[in-house]
Amino acid sequence: MSEGVEWALHSCLNLAWIGPERAVKAARLAAYHELPAAYLNKQLQALVRAGIVTSVSGPRGGFRLARPLARITLMDVVAAIEGPEEAFRCAEIRQQGPGAAPPGGPRCAIAGAMGRAELAWRRELAAHTLESVRQRAEEQAPDAPERVRRWFAG
C-alpha cells in the first residue's frame, strides 16, 4: 500500500478538525506534515473523484470534506487512493515450466488463500470509519484538534 493512503487519511482528519466551512489548499495541507504538495494534491484529487472531499475553486478555495467522517470508511480511502484492484494478482505461474498444471483445473490454492485474506482485510477496513479513528486519535492526543485549528488559522 502506498504512503498516499496515510497522507489521505491524515488530510481527512485535519479537514475534519479544521471544520466543514473552511476549504484548505493542498499546499497548506502538505506543509502541515512537510509533504510534497504536488503529490498530496494527486491524492486529494483521487479523494474528490471518490466523493470523499470536494474541491472549491477561487482565491479562498481548496479542499474540504464532502461528507461526515462517520460516513467515510478506511476502505473508502484505500480504494480511492489504491484503486479497486486486489492486492494479489494470480498470474497462474503454476501452468508454466516442467511441472505445469493443466489449464482449467481447480483454483490455485495460493490464489484462494490470498483471496480469503484480501476479503478479510477489506471487510475490516470497511468496518472502521474515520469517525472512529478520529475518536481514537483524540483519546491519544486530546489537544490535536486545537493544534491543527491553530496551525491552519495562522
8 with 46: CB under 8 angstroms? yes
Helix/strand/coil for 99: coil
Tens digit of each residue's pLDDT (9 = 90 or more) over 27-71: 999 999 999 999 999 999 999 999 999 999 988 899 999 999 999
Helix axes 3-18, 130-140, angle to 10 degrees: 80
Given this model, what pLDDT does residue 91 score? 85
CATH class of 3-85+130-153: mainly alpha
pTM (predicted TM-score): 0.88
Given this model, what pLDDT does residue 86 score? 87
Instruction: Return the domain boundaries, the chain.
Output: 3-85+130-153
Tens digit of each residue's pLDDT (9 = 90 or more) over 11-25: 999 999 999 889 999
Cα 108 from Cα 112, distance rounded (Å): 6
